[in-house]
Amino acid sequence: MELNKQKIIEALREVKDPKSGEDIISAQMVEQLETDEQNVSFSLLLPANMDSGTKNSLNFACIAAVNSVFPEAEVHIHVKTTVVQTAPTSIVPQIKNIIAVASGKGGVGKSTVALNLALGLKALGARVGIMDADVYGPSLPTMLGLQKQRPRIKDINGQPKIVPIEKYGIPSISMGYIIEPEQAVVLRGPRLAGIIKQFFQDCLWPELDYLIIDLPPGTGDVQLTLVQTVAVTGAVMVTTPQEVSLADAVKGMNMFRLPNVNVPILGVVENMAWFTPAELPNNKYYIFGQGGGKQLAKESNSVLLGQIPLVQAIREGGDNGLPAILNEDPMTKEAFMNVARQTLRQIAIRNEAMPPTSMVNVQS
């Protein structure tokens, strides 16, 4: 009598997983079902922590189920154990999402985008913090008007902890709060990595929905330390329209896509997309060219989160501790708010698409 696979599958549906009560076919515990003359073979996937008695019972129950429809069949079952891999315990469990803001080169306004993204998310009702990870060239204190501020140290169970400095309702930490503005920072890789880890482990970050990381330009030690220290939700790439900026941004983007880094690109922000003079508010002058942001988004298989204009009336704001999104210029404010909204949308899409755990098969 020829063995019918569909009848075997229906018979195995009568075997239940003792933990979930679901049948082993629906629970996807049966793999590689094959028939050859009077032989039936398949793999049975069982949790690694299942006791041997239950494993044996399931094994015999499967044999009995197949023999109930094909009494002469020889049933061969290969048991595999499955290990549920859960995410490692975070060193900052109070922070739900970590967003890296990166660029391939300096001078594209990455820090401006990072700070205004943080403020935009805050305006949308989120709890947001920002970390200035550009250790060699920290600019956050200047942009927030906090050049003379120093973080407090608080004793927690005998351990000194850094209290982030808050402004506009956003806690922040930066190397610029620790050194003098004119002091040169000379650090080798291991010490640099230690500072980034300290900004996570030794800072008293409050409960946050988003922590924005303002990365230094390029693809160096700080970027690698970040992805080795915490789980990064995604990266926002910043570029300007011109070709040289785009070429460097592609290199930065490709670093995040390396298998041992594997950080999703949430999208691209094109900064200085056009220039608008104060006396001609309706005019747009594409002094750096056009299309760089769209091209980078296409190459990263992501989206253009927004285009930020260079508006003469508000250029001095950021250097005086008043970020662009808090100025009265409606064009710039709306551009940054759009970036914040689009970033939230991309994070929601990613979180919905990613399963909470993954299964890895280990043969026993």
108 is in an annotated binding site: yes
251 is in an annotated binding site: no
Whether residue 40 is found in the same domain as residue 158: no
145 is in an annotated binding site: no
Any domain includes 303: yes
96 is in an annotated binding site: no
pLDDT at residue 130, as a whole number? 97
Instruction: Supply the range of the domain harboring residue 283.
Output: 95-353
105 is in an annotated binding site: yes
**The last residue of a domain, from among 82, 110, 136:** 82
Cα–Cα distance, 150 to 13 (Å, whole number): 66
Whether residue 271 is found in the same domain as residue 229: yes
| Contact between 276 and 284 (Cβ < 8 Å) | yes
- Tell me the CATH number at 250: 3.40.50.300
**The last residue of a domain, from among 33, 61, 82:** 82
Strands (E), 164-315: 165-167, 170-174, 208-214, 234-239, 265-276, 304-311
pLDDT at residue 362, as a whole number? 33
Cα–Cα distance, 98 to 34 (Å, whole number): 46
* Count of beta carbons in the 10 Å neighbourhood of residue 298: 13
Any domain includes 180: yes
Any domain includes 88: no
pTM of the model: 0.70
106 is in an annotated binding site: yes
Whether residue 342 is found in the same domain as residue 249: yes
Any domain includes 363: no
Structure tokens at 285: 């002058």
Q: How many domains does the chain have?
A: 2
**The last residue of a domain, from among 20, 50, 82:** 82
| 275 three-class SS | strand
Whether residue 121 is found in the same domain as residue 223: yes
Task: Walk along the chain (364 residues) and give the pLDDT tens digit of each residue.
Answer: 678 888 999 999 999 988 778 889 888 889 889 998 889 999 998 887 788 888 899 999 999 999 999 999 999 999 888 765 544 568 899 999 999 998 877 788 899 999 999 999 999 999 999 999 887 778 899 899 898 889 999 998 888 999 999 999 999 999 888 876 555 555 555 676 788 888 999 999 999 999 999 988 766 677 778 888 888 999 999 988 877 777 777 877 888 888 777 888 999 999 998 898 877 878 888 888 888 888 888 887 788 999 999 887 544 444 445 787 777 678 888 999 999 999 999 998 877 654 433 333 333 3
Whether residue 59 is found in the same domain as residue 111: no
Whether residue 151 is found in the same domain as residue 77: no
Cα–Cα distance, 200 to 260 (Å, whole number): 21
| 347 three-class SS | helix
- Tell me the CATH number at 56: 3.30.300.130
pLDDT at residue 363, as a whole number? 36
Any domain includes 61: yes
Whether residue 298 is found in the same domain as residue 223: yes
pLDDT at residue 187, as a whole number? 55
What's the burial of 312, exposed, middle or buried (CB within 10 Å: 0-12/13-18/19+)?
middle
pLDDT at residue 364, as a whole number? 31
Q: Which helix (H) or strand (E) holds 197?
A: helix 189-201
